[in-house]
Structure 1
Amino acid sequence: MQKIVVLALLAFVGISCHTQRSLSTKKPYATLIDTSAVFAHNFTGMAIYDVAQKKTLFERNADRYFTPASNTKLFTFYACLKTLGDSIPALRYTIKNDTLTFWGTGDPTFFHPDLKNTRTFDFLKSHKASKYFYFSDGNFGNQPMGDGWAWDDYNDYYSAEMAALPMYGNVVRVKVAQGNLITQPVIFENSFYKKDEGSNVVRIPADNVFLLPKALLQKNSYQQDVPFKTSTGLTQQLLIDTLRKNVSLLHVPVAKEAKTLYSMPSEDVYRLMMQESDNMLAEHLLLLCGATLKDSLSSAFTIKTITEKYLQDLPDKPKWVDGSGLSRYNLFTPRSIVKLLEKISAELPAQKLYSVLPVGGQSGTLKNGYKNTEKPFIFAKTGSLGGVYNLSGYLVTKKGKTLIVSFMNNNFNQSTTSIRKEVEKILTWIYENQ
């Protein structure tokens, strides 16, 4: 009996391996990859799934792990869909007698420079019944920067730090107009020092001191976002400066009786995160999920909870460590991303889902490509780091078939532009011919 079981298992493994080989060598998809001179020296993985037939059409290295870069935001997006409602929770708060105590939820929209939302400000500013305002960071259990982030990216807009109550996108927006320096928030206007050399503003790594090249003041127009160094003390200063009220600090957990203030429609925030690949929004939305699940602002807690509750059926266990994909510790397989995209499509109608994602030739990170077809056909998230370019999403063919595609490229030593154009060429062929 034991011998029969062993033989049956070996036969199953043989059939499975044969199926994988068949899928990985199936023309014409394999030919498109194998004959590409652009892909000759990089590591390429691809998975294509037919939604209507519920059938995998092609796999190449689909069970191998890749650095996903901003394809990680698809996981964050799914976490939000399973956790958050139609509106973003902005604050948790209690009112006792003449005292208002509030906690951040990680809501990234408070004075975010690219989102129009004043709900939190209006609530705090107009609250006349309370004489005393207390802000507590007792629910924040995260580090300001994610595991595996590159330390020398600290000055770049895409590496904004994390905080319990982010304000202004956690960046200083520096503008030069007709030789005049303008900063938002204005609290930093006296933190800039001129220097002779350089072509962009640089923050001192450990402090909120900014060096401004004199040459920038000669420009008629200039803009740069520079992350500021976050702290609870700075949050207090920003609140006092913005509200024109005294705000004291506490370090206590969220009270059981705390109520929730909501800020703006969730979909508007998702759209900016996905289309512009906004890392700050992604990281804080992941924290926001934790705050909703357990009043705990912790990326690790959110990832663990979402993975255990909703992602046990992925073909390959994901290594998921941050919300944005800045970390090279993230590792996903193409076929797991395809499965995730199938799960996402079950949460939203196609029209709404496609409006959130970048659209080929029309919006977001795909705006400048995919223009040589009669109508848009690719609705997908891109992801790029040095030596990394991936695209995962939904492809609607000329014949009206909906395919889910994850096309991942790692470890190349050429321009990202050349890889991106080759991906576009192959996906356009699939649109035209499948």
Structure 2
Amino acid sequence: MFQLRIWYVIGLLLMLAALSSCAAGKFRTGRQLLLVKQEIESSKVYANAHTGFVLMDANTGETLVSVNDQQLFTPASCTKILTLATSLEYLGDSLPSLEVARTKDQRWLIRGKGDPTFLHPDYQAWQSAFQWMKAQQDPLIVERRIIPRFGKGWAWDDYNDDYSAERSDFPYYGNIIHWQKTGDGQWMSTPKHPGTPVFEPQNDLYPKTVGVYRLEQLPYFLLSHPDSIFGVGFTDKIPIPEMSADGGMMTYYLPDTLGKSFDHICYQNFPGSCETEVDGPWRTLYSTPRDTVLRQMMYISDNFLAEQLLLMCADRKFGALKESLIIQEMQNTSFASIVPTPRWVDGSGLSRYNLISPGGLASVLKRLWDKQPKEKLLSYFPYPGGNGPFKDWPTSLPLHAKTGGMSGVACLSGYLRARSGKMLIFSLMHNNFTGPAKPYREESQRILQLIYERF
């Protein structure tokens, strides 16, 4: 009996010790969470902006820290996280590039599928659709689908900047023309343009920055300064004015690259324009691996890739290159639980109409964490020391995240593995500040380093 009592007392003491340790652990965790919240709320940098933050346990979904986490913010390029989730849900292993069908009069009818990698210089290894076009001996007819060249809420005066390439049903060369001053003093372009940029001193639209410019919606390229100012090797990238009544620059650029002309170009949007009868089924030609494109979209924050991928998702689901259809579908299904409901209008985040809360972005990241293979998911996101926005961050910080920035906006959302091994989801959003974003990036690095060390 005495021995039983001894064992009973020992067991009771062990249980009390365990409970005490658990309580102490919870107390320490509570203090750490409070410290993170205080660091954000008392930050002198963040005091100059509207700031929102959420920290979540990736495995349980428990919200650990929140500051304005249900308020709506302009996410800028963090919108690409939504585009990533949509693309993983709707696009297969490789991107559909073209649809082709034989006509009754022995020609080929070709439709673009919105593939942003067609003739893109970064994807030369996956040009089988172009090689198919080049190999055909019979005439080629291109059936176009006219779509708005810009997204809703885009800045109209950014048309000359390479981060604002025009959207298209049939993109080529990334819808960008590359100009270069050669060793013999001539201008060379890819794709080959029928003409060279010129300097017109009477034109009062020139900006002060040295570069090549074009008139809006016209394939007329200008030099900002006299030609002699531009040294050998000078390069510039300008968006192609993609669509016009005569087929746009496609009628110049693609025949030169193919080595042959199109039979003609017709428009699906115009009744009676495309009356060619098809003899047999449509066949889809595929191009670049989806994951290769998604990683580039996320690593260098490529707006053009993001826009085209979202259009392709809409085409895959609804047979129409209309981003609003797939956005509504995602908000009714995969993103239905996000509160408050985001306002989501484009694939890239160029639009200031986009609004989402830190908690909303964390919900999307949690869904990705639950649905995707873990290491593969993390590989889509930039990380310290890699080719992306964190190349100068310490590689000891195990971070995988997407940045978002424009004037008055600095956002950062993603995954952080704490020193303890716990995987965390975070979203840190700043809006409505003036001045550079660098102080916000540096302060965010400090906060994330603190979280890494304390958890």
- With normalisation by structure 1, the TM-score equals 0.88
Structure 1 segment 183-262 matched on structure 2, within 5 A:
183-188=189-194, 190-195=195-200, 198=208, 199-212=210-223, 213-214=225-226, 218-231=230-243, 232-247=247-262, 248-252=264-268, 257-262=281-286
Any idea what the Cα deviations from partners look like across 1:135-193, whole Å, max 9, x if unmatched? Answer: 1114x4x31011111111111110000111001111111222434422111125x0411
Letter matched to residue 52 of structure 1: N
SS at match of 2:51: strand
**What is the letter of the counterpart of residue 45 of structure 1?**
G
Equivalent position amino acid for 1:34 in 2: E
Q: What is the CA-CA distance between 1:362 and the residue it aligns to?
A: 1.9
Matched, 1:66 2:77: no
Corresponding residue number in structure 2 for 1:283: 307
Match of 2:109 among 101, 118, 122: 101
Per the alignment, residue 376 of structure 2 pairs with 352
Q: 2:415 aligns with which of 377, 394, 403?
A: 394
Looking at structure 2, the residues matched to 215 and 109 of structure 1 have their Cα atoms a distance apart, in angstroms, of: 32
- CA shift at 1:206, angstroms? 3.3
Output the CA distance in 1 between the equivalents of 2:452 and 2:425: 12
State the shift of 1:251 in Å: 2.2
Compare 229-238 and 97-106 and name the one that shifted more.
229-238
User: Where do 1:31-42 residues align within 5 Å?
Assistant: 31-42=38-49
Cα offset for 1:107? Answer: 0.4
2:333 paired with 1:309: yes
Q: Which residue of 2 aligns with 1:114?
A: 122
Which deviations, in whole Å up to 9, do the C-alpha atoms of 1:298-338 show, x marking residues without a partner? 11122122222321122221100011000000000110100
Instruction: Give the aligned length.
Output: 403
TM-score by length of 2: 0.84
Following TM superposition, by how much is the alpha carbon of 1:26 offset from its aligned partner in structure 2, in angstroms?
5.2
CA offset at residue 195 of structure 1?
A: 4.7
AA aligned opposite 2:118: F
Q: What's the CA shift for 1:217?
A: 5.3
Tell me, in whole angstroms, the C-alpha distance in 2 between the residues paired with 1:57 and 1:158.
36
Distance 1:238 1:306 in 2: 36
State the match for 1:162 in structure 2. Answer: 167
Task: Indicate yes or no: 2:440 matched with 1:419.
Answer: yes
Distance of aligned partners of 1:151 and 1:345 in 2 relative to their CA distance in 1, 3 Å threshold? same
CA distance in 1, matches of 2:150, 2:103: 35
**Deviation, structure 1 residue 345:** 2.1
CA distance in 2, matches of 1:156, 1:350: 36
Matched, 1:429 2:450: yes
Residue 110 of structure 1: SS of its match in structure 2?
coil
Tell me if structure 1 keeps the 8 A contact 2:213–2:222. Answer: yes
C-alpha separation between the residues in 1 aligned to 2:199 and 2:82? 42
Residues in 1 aligned to 2:110 and 2:80: alpha-carbon distance in whole angstroms = 29
The structural deviation recorded for 1:263 is 0.5
Q: Aligned equivalents of 1:66 and 1:87: distance in 2?
A: 33
Deviation at 1:431, TM superposition (A): 1.0
Return the index of the structure with the highest Cα Rg.
Answer: 2
Q: Distance in 1 between matches of 2:404 and 2:62?
A: 25
CA distance in 1, matches of 2:361, 2:284: 33
Q: Residues of 2 paired with 1:288 and 1:206: CA distance?
A: 24
Structure 2: runs of 5+ lacking an equivalent: 1-29
Instruction: Give the deviation of 1:364 after TM superposition.
Output: 1.2
What SS does the corresponding residue of 2:163 show, helix, strand or coil? helix
Correspondence for 1:7: none
* Runs of 4+ deviating beyond 6 Å: 253-256
Confirm or deny: 8 A CA contact 2:90 2:317 kept in the other structure: yes
